[in-house]
Amino acid sequence: MIEYLKICRIDHWLKNIFIVFGHAVALVLFYQLEPPSDFIWKAALSLVPVCLIASAYYILNEILDAPFDALHPSKKLRGIPAGKVKVPVLWGIMGGLLAVGFTLAWLLFDNHLYFVSLAVLMGFALLYNVPPVRLKDKAFLDVISESINNPLRLLLGWYAVVPADVAAMPPLSIILAWWFFGALLMTGKRYTEYRFIGCDELSGKYRKSFKVYNEERLVMAMITYACLFCFCTGIAMAVYPLLRNLVLVFPMIMVAIISYFKHAMREEAARLEPEELLKNPWILATTAITAAAALWLLYAGKNGWFDVKEKYHLMQASWEQLHSGGE
């Protein structure tokens, strides 16, 4: 039984914490930092169907990837290539998880766009894994299609707490920023995995997209996604008044991105499983500090404690007065 649970990757449910970003966007832009009494309850429940569907996706991924995992230095020890589990049993578990997950999604949330978003999430999982499309084998498209899970999780978090009779959706700039952030993480995963295998011929057999990738192309892609993430985030901060204080956390965002790049480039990082990349203490620390500062700045702007735009105009007026006095 333990081998079957390993394939469900319960330890990877932590990745669904990205749904919380959707809750946060709804809290700030839809509820204006004044959530209803059932907000936290709905937010917590929204994680349950997603985790079940995620495990179904992981099972599908392991079944379809088993022939390729057998060529990987560490993944060859997984349950299917090592012969520790029975594939028909896995298909049964996968079907049960899908049935329970989608049933809960329909029954628990009045806003059925949550259910639709969950279905789209599973649909992209099929496109990513199942031949003949199998986007996983298409260089760069593999990252784009896998990282779309980020904006879909954003939508899941949003629709879980936003009323069904409201047609509003998160701003496009924020959706794209979250997508590009996911693409940055997924490209970093490809980069560490490529270096971990350390053999062009073997990596090409393990995953077809690696026949196109090399370290330089992957690093350039990471830089591109980081820039696009910052660009879209900047647009959101400029357009929405409640977000303008967040311009002050931009330096911390850059520190977090630099920490991510620094860790990915280290020699020992290439020998780690790709998921270990996000367990770096510096990455976790900078992310936590950034989140705490952002929360304070949002409430400061809401309650009139501090407004970066007003402070800027005061500084500008003082400078102009000083300059005119000098003349």
Report how far residue 155's alpha carbon sits from residue 114's, in angstroms, rounded to the nearest whole number: 7
Residue 307 has pLDDT above 80, yes or no: yes
Reference 173, options 236, 121, 116; nearest CA is: 236
Regarding whether 265 and 184 lie in a shared domain, the answer is yes
Angle between helical axes of 113-129 and 47-69 (0-180°, round to 10): 0
Q: What is the pLDDT at residue 223? A: 93
Residue 160 has pLDDT above 90, yes or no: yes
Regarding whether 191 and 145 lie in a shared domain, the answer is no
Report how far residue 226's alpha carbon sits from residue 303's, in angstroms, rounded to the nearest whole number: 32
Residue for token pair 């800027």? 312
Residues of the domain holding 23: 1-162
Regarding whether 283 and 177 lie in a shared domain, the answer is yes
Regarding whether 147 and 20 lie in a shared domain, the answer is yes
Regarding whether 179 and 138 lie in a shared domain, the answer is no
Q: Both tokens of residue 44?
A: 């917590």
Which one of 96, 131, 162 terminates a domain? 162
Q: Which residues contact 113 (CB under 8 A, 6 or more apart)?
A: 155, 159, 164
Q: What is the pLDDT at residue 117? A: 95
Residue 272 has pLDDT above 60, yes or no: no
Residues 233-249: pLDDT tens digits? 999 998 998 898 998 98
Regarding whether 83 and 5 lie in a shared domain, the answer is yes
| Count of Cβ atoms closer than 10 Å to residue 267 Cβ | 7
- Structural Rg of the chain based on CA atoms: 22
Residue 69 has pLDDT above 60, yes or no: yes
- In total, how many domains does the chain have? 2
Q: What is the pLDDT at residue 20? A: 92
Angle between helical axes of 215-239 and 172-197 (0-180°, round to 10): 160
Sign of CA dihedral 9, 14, 20, 22: negative
Say which residue, 181 or 268, is predicted with more confidence. 181
Residues 38-68: pLDDT tens digits? 999 999 999 999 999 999 999 998 888 888 7
Regarding whether 180 and 80 lie in a shared domain, the answer is no
Average pLDDT over residues 277-294: 75
Which one of 127, 162, 197 terminates a domain? 162
Which one of 132, 162, 192 terminates a domain? 162
Task: Assign residue 148 the CATH number of its domain.
Answer: 1.10.357.140
Regarding whether 286 and 155 lie in a shared domain, the answer is no
Residue 278 has pLDDT above 60, yes or no: no
Its pTM stands at 0.85
Mean pLDDT of the chain: 85
Regarding whether 278 and 207 lie in a shared domain, the answer is yes
pLDDT band at 26 (very low <50, low <70, confident <90, very high): very high
Regarding whether 323 and 239 lie in a shared domain, the answer is yes
Residue 36 has pLDDT above 80, yes or no: yes
- What secondary structure letter does DSSP report for 167? -
pLDDT band at 37 (very low <50, low <70, confident <90, very high): very high
Residues 202-226: pLDDT tens digits? 777 777 888 888 889 999 999 999 9
Regarding whether 230 and 321 lie in a shared domain, the answer is yes
Regarding whether 299 and 237 lie in a shared domain, the answer is yes
